Amino acid sequence: MKSVIPTYFTPASSEVWSKIVDFSPKELHLIHAVSGSGKSSLFNFLYGLNNKFSGTIFFDDNDISKFTEDEWTDIRRKKISIVFQGLRLFPELSALENIQLKNTLTNYKSETEILTCMERLDMAQLANKKVETLSYGQQQRIAIVRALCQPFEVLLLDEPFSHIDATQIQNAKSLILDEVKAQNASLLLASLGDSYTVQYSKIYSL
């Protein structure tokens, strides 16, 4: 990122906005952010869903503002995965169907592997329950598993544990770090303050 600033609000002093920031490959990065500082905007910029910023963002040395929709589709399928703060699950589908819907784009994991991931987060017994019947914390765990069911070079997590209890945070953290290591990928996690005892390569205040 080079001198990136949102065009629709004026950020406060930051280690990210208006700076040169390198989210290096194969490293774990924490974005500390107070509410309203623009962390969701940052992740939407990086995921190509919002282009309302000045400055330049490069991915693999390519200016993302030049990417076509087809190029973004391919990148989101193969190189960048995300857990949105708002989750963006389909409430009328079951937990397993939400995950399978993502997995069918890449056939990255078998159903057995998906259920194993769900079991690690104590969600396998709820696989066939409609998402609209689940608690928000349970939905967050489904969104996490869904994000891991694709190849990626970068995993973006926007407050992924905000409604999950301490035991399940440890389970989710373990699953995430295992998958990031297996894929030799980078992790960018946004948090309002908690670092979740992860050994980050770099920590930024937004």
pLDDT in tens, 20-45: 999 999 999 999 988 888 999 999 99
Q: Does pLDDT of 198 surpass 90?
A: yes
Q: What is the mean pLDDT of residues 73-100?
A: 97
Q: 190, 46 in Cβ contact below 8 A?
A: no
Measure the CA dihedral 20/157/153/45, to 10°.
-50
pLDDT in tens, 140-176: 999 999 999 999 999 999 999 999 999 999 999 999 9
Mean pLDDT rounded to a whole number for the chain: 96
Residue 36: what pLDDT? 83
Question: Which pLDDT band holds residue 98 (cuts at 50, 70, 90)?
Answer: very high
Question: Which pLDDT band holds residue 126 (cuts at 50, 70, 90)?
Answer: very high
For domain 22-39+80-205, the question of CATH label 3.40.50.300 is answered with yes
Q: What is the mean pLDDT of residues 111-133?
A: 97
CA-wise closest residue to 158 among 21, 49, 18, 14? 49
Residue 13: what pLDDT? 83
Q: CA 22 from chain center: how many Å?
A: 18
The CA-to-CA distance between both ends of the chain, in Å, stands at 13
Q: Is 85 left (phi over 0), alpha (psi -120 to 50) or beta?
A: alpha
Whole-model pTM: value is 0.95
